[in-house]
Amino acid sequence: MRTNLSVAIVAMTDKNSSTNPDIPTYNWDNKGVILSSFFWGYFTLQAIAGELGNRYGTKWLLFIAMFVSSTASVLTPLMAQTTGSYGVIGCRVVQGMSQGFFFPSVSNLLGQWIPPSERSYMATIAYSGTSLGTIFAMPITGFLAASQLGWPSTFYLFGALGYLWILAWYFLGAGCPTEYPRITEEEKTYIQQSLSATQDELSDTPWWSIITSLPVWAVIVGLIGLNFGFTMLLTEMPTYLNKIHGISLKSNGVLSAMPYLVSFVFGNLYGIVCEHLITRGCVTRGTARKIFNSIGQFGPATALVVLAFLPKNAAIIAEAMLIVAVGTNTACTLGCIVSTVDLAPNYSGVIMGVANGIGQIFSIVAPLVVHFVVTNEEDQALWRTAFLTAAAVFITANLFFLLFSSGEVQPWNNAKTFTNNADTAKSEVSQ
């Protein structure tokens, strides 16, 4: 649902895109604004989502969020027909707001379910869903948009899949092991004992400690770089391939999805390697986070610089660089993303909500940069400016992460113990 518009919008604005002449198309000149509108809603509720999940659990939050997002997807073709681009923008804003609950909730689930010794690989498996979804979404969208069914069918299909997920989540989902009726006592005891060193009875969220923590800000800045660069790749790739390298719409979805297939495969390999390095004592957890975040941000930056200077119609090289960019970018899962759980398993959803919420502001900026910079989509020099900007953001963000990130649980994770110790220290000083 998040990805399909970047391919579908090509068909929505091209009267020759479908074999069915009855499929409506539109003469919109604000495609960059439409593509960025998802992120207008996406960043707004993330911190609130983390706090609500922390207080009340994640099961019903995810249930409601997916229902709203799926409904907005199904309504998109009708809104496009009746209210034009503004209706599509409205649907995307609503989808963004609802999907803003996803990442904080997943981070919360990781903190409640996954022992530290398994965290890197299990987090990789969970977050690889974003790549796996893109692998299917782009070619399916391209195929359906060029078929008799036309681009509206893609919004109906993915909305329906969202409704199916709701049913699966209702019967199989649980916010923590104690809420899951089919877990064995052995597994539940293992998880609880593994997490006992980092989990404590929750008190009010230690907001001041969170917002003044340099390691938390390292996560925030890391996600700024990740979201800006990844969003530019995600939303602008189909248009760039089409206008600069002459790739047709039907093949566009397939070729656009290839980098995410590499991302899915490499992401799981990164998880295995990272967990091996940590458990064997080759590197500390914090060092591992820095290594993989550097792969995930310096790698795409290098590929974007190469991509920026390619001539027109260099389709094979362009696709190779895009594969490198997206394939290496997924290593950030083991850097700034999973660091939210390392720093504070008890408040990982809150930290993810704050960090990703701020980071997603730059997801709004990325398509707008292309909208205002690439005024002629067939001008390679204008795309060069956009890609070099994204590379600079990647590099700057990772340098900050290298300087200030940490792989250690922060003292305020156990807020009550932290507060009591602080009060004791103050009392001793005063005496």
Percent with pLDDT over 90 in the chain: 32
Residue 385 has pLDDT above 80, yes or no: yes
Number of other residues whose CB lies within 10 A of the CB of residue 414: 23
List domains and CATH numbers for the chain.
4-430 (1.20.1250.20)
Q: Are 369 and 389 in contact (CB under 8 A)?
A: yes
Query: What type of residue is 78?
Result: L
Instruction: Measure the CA angle with vertex 269, ends 115 and 166; round to 5°.
Output: 60
According to the model, what pLDDT value does residue 430 have?
Answer: 47
| Spatial distance between the Cα atoms of 189 and 279, rounded to a whole number of angstroms | 21
250/256 Cα distance (integer angstroms) = 11
Helices (H), 280-379: 285-308, 315-329, 339-343, 348-373
Local confidence band at 423 (pLDDT 50, 70, 90 cut-offs): very low
Read out DSSP for 198-252? T-----S--HHHHHT-HHHHHHHHHHHHHHHHHHHHHHHHHHHHHHHH---HHHH
How far apart are alpha carbons 12 and 151 in whole angstroms? 7
Q: Is the pLDDT of residue 200 over 60?
A: no
**How far apart (Å, rounded) are the C-alpha atoms in residues 114 and 122?**
7
User: 132: which residues sit within 8 A by CB, 6+ positions away?
Assistant: 260, 264
220-259: b (≥16 Cβ within 10 Å) or e: bbbbbbbbbbbbbbbbbbbbbbbbbbebebebbbebbbbb
For the chain, what is the radius of gyration of the CA atoms? 22
Contacts for 25 with CB less than 8 Å, ≥ 6 apart: 11, 12, 13, 14, 15, 17
Q: Is 72 in contact with 98 (CB distance < 8 Å)?
A: yes
What's the rounded Cα separation, in Å, for the pair 28 and 31? 7
Q: What is the pTM of this model?
A: 0.77
Q: Which of 17-21, 94-98, 107-111, 226-230 has the lowest mean pLDDT?
A: 17-21
| Weakest mean pLDDT among 31-45, 292-306, 383-397 | 31-45
Task: Report how far residue 358's alpha carbon sits from residue 94's, in angstroms, rounded to the nearest whole number.
Answer: 18
Going by C-alpha positions, the residue among 40, 143, 133 that lies closest to residue 88 is 40
